[in-house]
A and B are shown apart, each in its own frame.
Chain A
Amino acid sequence: MESTGTPTVKRGLAQMLKGGVIMDVVTPEHALIAQEAGAVAVMALERIPADIRAAGGVARMSSIELIQSIMDAVTIPVMAKVRIGHFAEAQVLQMLGIDYIDESEVLTPADERYHVDKHAFTTPFVCGARDLGEALRRIAEGAAMIRSKGEAGSGNIVEAVRHMRAIGDAIRDLSVAPKEELVARARDLGAPLELVKQVAQDGKLPVVLFCAGGVSTPADAALMMQLGAEGIFVGSGIFKSKDPKRFAKAIVDATTHFEDPKVVLEASRSLGTSEAMPGLDVRTLSEGELMATRGN
C-alpha cells in the first residue's frame, strides 16, 4: 500500500535540500539563472521581499500563471508562499502540485491568531520562526521544515543571526535540562511537551532548519551555516544585487564549503566590484514595517 503525504516524505524532501540554497525568483528566466547557479529549489513569487516592502499594500499568494510558468521552466523543486493562516490559498497551491508551501510572514497575514493546520495537507510546509517555542508550535501544526524569519528584504543579516542563535541556545539549554524541568520548560516555550522532550533528547529539531532573511553575500551564507543552519534561503540578495548570476553562484559555493574560508574567499573574490543589494538598518523600521513579528 502506498502512503503519500506522511511526515517521513514531507520532512524527507527538506532533508534532500540540506546544504543547499533556495532562491526567490519572479520570472522563469530568474528561475533558470538560479538553477544554473546550483540552487536546490526556487521560491516562485511576484515580487521579491525588498519590492514587497517598497510597494506596501496587501501582499498575497502569487498569480497561478506565474507559478506554473516557473514550475514548467526548471527541474528542481518549486516552492510558493501563502499568507499566514490562509488555508484556502494553500489548498489552491496543493491542487496546482507545488512541491513546498511557505506559510510566510513576508505576505500580509490573513489570520492574526491562527496558522494553517498543515497536517491536513499532502504538500509539505515550511514556516518561519524567531525562537524555539515558535518553531515547535509550527512543527506541532505540521510544518515539515523550519526557517529563521530574519527580516526579509532588509539585506541585513542581524535578525537572522538573532533567530538562529535563539533557536540554537534554547536547544542546547533543553538538552542539559533535568527531566523534572521539562513540563515547566514546555509551558515557558509555549510548545507541546512531547516535542520539547524530543528536542531535549535529540539535541536538535525534529525537522530541517534553514536560515532565511537578510542573506546578501557569500560570507553571510557561511556565517549562518556555521551558526547551525542546514541550508540557506536567499530572497532579495540575488536579484537585487548588481550581478545576479555571479551572486547566485558565489552564495551556492560559500554554502557548500561554509567551513572552508579559502572557498568563501574565492566566492567573494568572484564578485569583482559588483555590489550587494542595498541594506536597511532594521532599528529604523517602525513596528508596522517589521515582517518578522507577524505570526506567533
Chain B
Amino acid sequence: MATDALIGVLALQGDVVEHIAALQRTGARATAVKTPADLARVAALVVPGGESTTVMKLLDRFRLSRPIVERTRAGMPLWGTCMGMIVAAHAVVDLDQPTLDLIDITVRRNAFGRQNESAELDLEIPALGPAPYPAVFIRAPWIERMGPEVELLAERDGHGVMVREANVLATSFHPELTGDPRVHAYFLDMVERYTRQGKVLGAA
C-alpha cells in the first residue's frame, strides 16, 4: 500500500543510504534524520543497521533519545533493523546496555556468532506470502523473551528474528541489503494504517 508520509531514517551511523534507497524503490519519500528538528518533520522512523553501543551514546549526546521515545509511545511507526532492533528492545541479555524500551522484547547481541557466522539464508515469513525471504544476518541479535502483546512474524533456529508490537516493527536481519521490497512494503503499510487512523501524533 502506498503512503505519502515522509519516512525518516536515523542517520547517526550505519547503513542509512541503503534504507533510504530501498524505501524510495518501494515508492515512499524518505529522508535522513540527524537532529530533533529532522525528527519533527517525519511521520515514521527507521533505525538502520549499525553499532548499537555507538548509536545509543550518540542518541543521548545529540538529544534524540527522548523525542524518539515520546513520538513512538504516541503512535509514530518505528522499524528497527539489527542494531535498530537492539535500540528499540526493552533490554539486552547479559549486558548492561541501555536501550529505548519501545517494544517488549529482550534480545541477545551477536546471538548467532561473530562475523564469520554472519549468513544469508531463506526465511519463512508467512505475513509476506508463501515465497521465502532472502534474509541477510550480520552479527545479528535474536529475541530471547517477548511480551504477550508481541506478534512473532519469523524465527530462525527457534528464536524470533522478526516481531511487531502495535506501531513498532523489529527485524534481526537487513532487508535494505537485498532487492526484495516486501519488508519495506510491510512497514509502509503499517505507516499508512497508523497515519490514516490519525495515530501519528507529534509530527510538526
Q: Spell out A's residues near B (CB within 8 Å).
A: 1-6, 8-9, 12-13, 15-20, 35-36, 38-41, 75-77, 94, 97-100, 122-124, 252-253, 256-257
User: What is the count of residue pairs linking A and B with beta-carbon distances less than 8 angstroms?
Assistant: 116
List of B residues within 8 angstroms of A35 by Cβ: 53
Q: Say whether B116 contacts A15, CB under 8 Å.
A: no
Residue from the set A4, A6, A77, A252 with the largest chain B CB neighbour count within 10 Å:
A4
Q: Say whether A9 contacts B138, CB under 8 Å.
A: yes
Q: Say whether B12 contacts A99, CB under 8 Å.
A: no
How far is it, in angstroms, between the C-alpha of A99 and the C-alpha of B109 when the chains are bound? 15
How far is it, in angstroms, between the C-alpha of A124 and the C-alpha of B114 when the chains are bound? 12
What bracket does the count of chain B residues touching chain A fall in?
35 or more
How far is it, in angstroms, between the C-alpha of A1 and the C-alpha of B121 when the chains are bound? 6
Asked if B119 CB lies within 8 Å of chain A CBs, one says yes
List of B residues within 8 angstroms of A5 by Cβ: 116
Q: Say whether A18 contacts B13, CB under 8 Å.
A: yes
CB-contact partner of A256 in B12, B53, B95, under 8 A: B12
List of A residues within 8 angstroms of B16 by Cβ: 18-19
Asked if B196 CB lies within 8 Å of chain A CBs, one says no
Those 10 A-B pairs whose CB atoms lie nearest each other, nearest first: A99-B115, A19-B13, A9-B118, A15-B15, A2-B119, A40-B51, A16-B49, A2-B121, A38-B57, A12-B138
CB-contact partner of B116 in A3, A12, A97, A257, under 8 A: A97
CB-contact partner of B50 in A4, A40, A75, A253, under 8 A: A40
List of A residues within 8 angstroms of B113 by Cβ: 97
Determine how close the nearest CB of chain A comes to the CB of B31; give it in whole angstroms: 14
| CB pairs A–B below 8 angstroms (7 shown) | A8-B177, A8-B178, A13-B115, A16-B49, A18-B13, A38-B54, A253-B61
Residues 77-114 of B, flagged 1 when their CB comes within 8 A of A and 0 if not, give 00000110000000000010100000000000110011
List of B residues within 8 angstroms of A98 by Cβ: 115
Q: Say whether B109 contacts A75, CB under 8 Å.
A: yes
Q: Which residues 1-57 in B have Cβ within 8 Å of A in the complex? A: 11-16, 18, 34, 49-51, 53-54, 57
Q: Say whether A4 contacts B57, CB under 8 Å.
A: no
List of B residues within 8 angstroms of A99 by Cβ: 114-115, 139
Asked if B169 CB lies within 8 Å of chain A CBs, one says no
Determine how close the nearest CB of chain A comes to the CB of B98; give it in whole angstroms: 13
Q: Say whether A4 contacts B117, CB under 8 Å.
A: yes
Residues 59-73 of B, flagged 1 when their CB comes within 8 A of A and 0 if not, give 001100000000000
Determine how close the nearest CB of chain B comes to the CB of A100; give it in whole angstroms: 7
Q: Say whether A19 contacts B14, CB under 8 Å.
A: yes
How far is it, in angstroms, between the C-alpha of A36 and the C-alpha of B97 when the chains are bound? 12
Q: Say whether A76 contacts B53, CB under 8 Å.
A: yes
Q: Say whether A19 contacts B136, CB under 8 Å.
A: no
List of B residues within 8 angstroms of A1 by Cβ: 121-122
Q: Say whether B114 contacts A97, CB under 8 Å.
A: yes
Determine how close the nearest CB of chain B comes to the CB of A182; give it in whole angstroms: 25
List of A residues within 8 angstroms of B189 by Cβ: none
Of chain A, the residue at the smallest CB distance from B120 is A3
Q: Say whether A15 contacts B18, CB under 8 Å.
A: yes
How far is it, in angstroms, between the C-alpha of A39 and the C-alpha of B53 when the chains are bound? 9
List of B residues within 8 angstroms of A36 by Cβ: 57
Q: Say whether B13 contacts A6, CB under 8 Å.
A: no
How far is it, in angstroms, between the C-alpha of A257 and the C-alpha of B174 when the chains are bound? 25
Determine how close the nearest CB of chain B comes to the CB of A15; give it in whole angstroms: 4
CB-contact partner of B118 in A4, A38, A76, A94, under 8 A: A4
How far is it, in angstroms, between the C-alpha of A77 and the C-alpha of B83 when the chains are bound? 13
Determine how close the nearest CB of chain A comes to the CB of B174; give it in whole angstroms: 7
